[in-house]
Amino acid sequence: MNTQFNDGLLRLRQQDLGAITLVHLISGIDEDMRDSSAPRCGESTILSGYTEWISAKEPRLTLGWDWQLDTNSAAPGVVRLGLPRTNVLIMRDAHVPLSWDQSLEALASCIDQLEWGGPAFRAVCERYASWPAQEAADTHRRPLTAVFGASHWLRNQGQRPQSRASAD
């Protein structure tokens, strides 16, 4: 039984989690530049962002989480950071919810089983590939494709990024 109360939370049985199909809604790069100092040549750069996924059908739910570019593996990719943000509370049984932290841990485990990295990374590449060069320079940011060679990563994933010329 999946129920919604006036508190805005969708209560979902743990055994129903696997039956829900999630679709990518949006992904982006964290744009708060707390440390405005640019990394020096050869220094490691940290790139992080967010992704949001929604259910394809009832019950309507949303899951969002943070990610970070993992450059330590052979093929760069993204990894989940922390626990998700959501409107879902997992129920142990019909009347007993998991604690909020246990619920988020259960949802994080489900996220880790999804093939979310490729779609989220491609969405970020497409979203930021069209940044005007001046805007990127003014904000001390450059398009993801210029900074991290996303074209190389996408080719390794069997995808070809769309060039600006062919997008028009």
pLDDT tens track, the chain, 168 positions: 455 567 888 999 988 888 889 999 999 998 764 455 666 777 667 789 999 999 988 878 899 999 998 877 777 788 999 999 998 999 988 789 999 999 999 999 999 999 999 999 889 888 888 665 545 444 444 444 443 444 444 444 444 444 334 443
pLDDT at 107: 95
Count of domains observed in the chain: 1
Query: Distance between CA 143 and CA 35 in Å, rounded?
Result: 19
Location of structure tokens 């970020």: 124
pLDDT of 101: 96
d(CA 1, CA 167): 45
137 lies in which domain range?
Answer: 3-167
58 phi and psi angles, rounded to 5 deg:
-65, 145
pLDDT at 63: 95
Residue 110: what pLDDT?
A: 92
Query: Which of 25, 32, 77, 29 minimizes the C-alpha distance to 50?
Result: 29
Which CATH number characterizes residue 62's domain?
Answer: 3.10.450.610
**132 vs 143: CA distance, rounded Å:** 9
Cα 127 to Cα 104: distance, rounded to the nearest angstrom: 28
Decide: 20 and 117 in contact? Cβ < 8 Å: no
Report the pLDDT value the prediction gives residue 71, as an integer from 0 to 100.
78
Q: Are 58 and 137 in contact (CB under 8 A)?
A: no
Nearest to 144 by CA among 167, 116, 121, 162: 121
